[in-house]
A and B are shown apart, each in its own frame.
Chain A
């Protein structure tokens, strides 16, 4: 069990993606089953890894791996339920990207011990709630991001008048748009509440000030998200602009996670 490393599931997901690509060229049932098998093997390996290592959510490293794990489940469930769709081609690169980013963050230097002071001093339950709310909001944003990518590809296919049934198999524009709408509608309240909990905890415990890059990046993320929702529901903006804004919000989310790490040179 201890010998399961990030490379194990990263390689499995990469093999699954390669097979999904192969399936587009040679749509053989065996290739699809092999892709699913590699995806499932990756998920099992990642589950074992997370169960053994138990990286806390407060580390970007752990947070990314948990997020990737949820999306890997999303890949498997989606692939089984929507066998005719090119589902894996969209989800697996994101899973790989998140795992890769997690690996790039790496375990904090002082990973032998949980961060002391600012983390252990906050009320544990609220800290966990804060972490999970942000994680679930991130899942929503990831789904929105995936839907937006699918939307752009489908819109491109329609613009080019690609023959139905040729090339990638995707849902209709309407269904993809609905998937994006649901994802962002669920993600925004989670993000808002999660951030409010974080702010309260931060100021109560004097963890950091307004100039903290995490606070600033989170504020920008929240504002962008709010603008996206306003344009979508207040201004009835639909289609490609909404997809592009969702992608921007997702990029900001990744930035919010990465900025403190590379800004401060730490792993938390």
Chain B
């Protein structure tokens, strides 16, 4: 097996370069085809906003030859050539690309993919998107017919690793974006949302993201109000809500359930005094106010945790920080799982590759054992009891097992040195004169 992972990520490469190296969806098929043809290999391209990586590999048969017929003039599967491919494909000079690329070979490449799929290499550790992106990249490669036995097994295994890490550790628990944290707080107060009304005050960028998450709760109404009627209309149109006049703010606050406030006002727009008058008019359930404006729009003293629950941007950021801190506690066990699975994959792969050799070796020794034991027993014919015959056979079988134990174990434990050179495998063939 020759496996190579080459690419760049947010850790090593500025976004301007990543943008230029990214593969657009419509170009992936061509890239897969060119890679497979040019290098005579299996290939999967993973291109996301945080990383562009290429996984390439090919499988050698027992004799060291390639299992796939090589194209007329294939290039070596080498980092420098792949860098050239990257550069050529994006019409960039190699010198502008190569310094940004990292390369992982063999076991390190396996481990790298497993870490990526398990979101251990992500900008936000434990985020759930990357596992889906890895799966999508693999499916695209399958669709483009650029995947062979090695990458099939590798990417399927990577999915299992991602699942294991997510379920066996707490690395994916909690929310890390301010907007999803807002929903967490809202769910502490309300149980169902089909009869709830959301009031959006202002039109900030952060408000749009939070509203996107709140909309997923499927509220009955979304009202939007803004000092500028046009802006209110525009936001309302974007979220399927209804624009309301700014002058009716108090009335709206008295009738709504969830408030998302994101104005750019320099002073609080709802003081305690003003809010007390509004609260006196409220007859429904509690009011949740998500005040993500800076400076704040609502007087913080109105928060009582019962009828009025006010959460500002700092409260929401606290969730994010606590979640990230919690997730980092799970990185170590997750890394252990990745290492364990890397070893399991390599061992399994080695077993698949070495299986036929081990079988041949065992058969060869077994036939020789039978031959020798047969000769011995025929020479001693008539002088042995059945028990003696069983003891002799048992002793030879034990000797055979002990003799083979060392070479077989060495072969199955060899994966890390599996660089395509087949030293141990070749040595075994030569030492024991195994036939192809």
Q: List which B89-112 residues lie within 8 A (CB) of chain A.
A: none
In this assembly, does A238 line the interface, its C-beta being within 8 Å of a C-beta of chain B? yes
A239 within 8 A of B: yes
Given that A236-B283, A239-B306, A240-B306 are known contacts, is A158 also in contact with B188, CB under 8 Å in the complex?
A: yes
Interface residue count for A (Cβ, 8 Å)? 23
Task: Determine the distance from Cα of A236 to Cα of B315 in the docked complex, in whole angstroms.
Answer: 30
Chain A nearest CB, measured from B306 CB (Å): 5
CA distance A174 to B191 in the complex (A): 6
Q: Does B190 contact A (CB under 8 A)?
A: yes
In the complex, A174→B192 CA distance in Å? 8
- Asked whether A173 lies within 8 Å of B322 as measured between CB atoms, the reply is no
Give min CB distance, B184 to chain A, whole Å. Answer: 4
For window 103-128 of chain A, which residues contact chain B by CB distance below 8 Å? Answer: none
Contact yes or no, B286 A161, CB < 8 A: no
Contact A172 B190 (CB under 8 A): yes
Measured CB to CB, the closest approach of chain A to B297, in angstroms, equals 18
B174 within 8 A of A: yes
Separation in Å of the A268 CB from the closest CB of chain B? Answer: 41
Question: Which residue of chain A has its CB nearest to the CB of B181?
Answer: A164
Contact (Cβ within 8 A) B184 A164: yes
Q: Contact: B304 with A159, CB < 8 Å?
A: yes
**A149-174: which have CB < 8 Å to B?**
154-161, 163-166, 171-174
B185 surroundings in chain A (CB, below 8 A): 164
Q: Which residue of B lies closest to A154 (CB)?
A: B188
- Known contacts A157-B305, A158-B305, A240-B306; is A172 also within 8 Å of B189 by CB? yes
Whether a CB of chain A sits under 8 angstroms from the CB of B285 is yes
0 or 1 for each of A163-189: is its CB under 8 Å from B? (1 = yes): 111100001111101100000000000
> What is the number of contacts between chain A and chain B, taking CB atoms within 8 Å?
61
Contact B285 A174 (CB under 8 A): yes
Q: Are A239 and B191 in contact (CB under 8 A)?
A: no
Closest A residue to B186 by CB, please name it.
A172
Give the residues in chain B near A173, CB-CB below 8 Å. 188-190, 286, 306
- Beyond A165-B174, A172-B190, whether A160 also contacts B305 by CB under 8 A is yes
Q: Is B117 in contact with chain A by the CB < 8 A criterion?
A: no
* A residues in contact with B369, CB < 8 Å: none
> Does A238 lie within 8 Å of B285, measured CB to CB?
yes
Q: A165-B174, A174-B192 are in contact. List 8 more A-B contacts (CB 8 A).
A: A154-B188, A155-B305, A155-B306, A159-B304, A161-B305, A164-B181, A164-B184, A239-B286
| B residues neighboring A (CB under 8 Å) | 173-174, 181, 184-185, 187-192, 283, 285-286, 303-307, 309, 311, 315, 318-319, 322
Q: What are 17 A-to-B residue pairs whose CB atoms are below 8 Å?
A: A158-B305, A158-B309, A160-B305, A161-B311, A163-B319, A164-B184, A164-B185, A164-B188, A165-B174, A172-B187, A172-B190, A172-B191, A173-B189, A174-B190, A236-B283, A238-B285, A239-B306
8 closest Cβ contacts across the A-B interface?
A: A159-B305, A158-B305, A164-B184, A175-B191, A174-B191, A172-B191, A239-B306, A155-B306
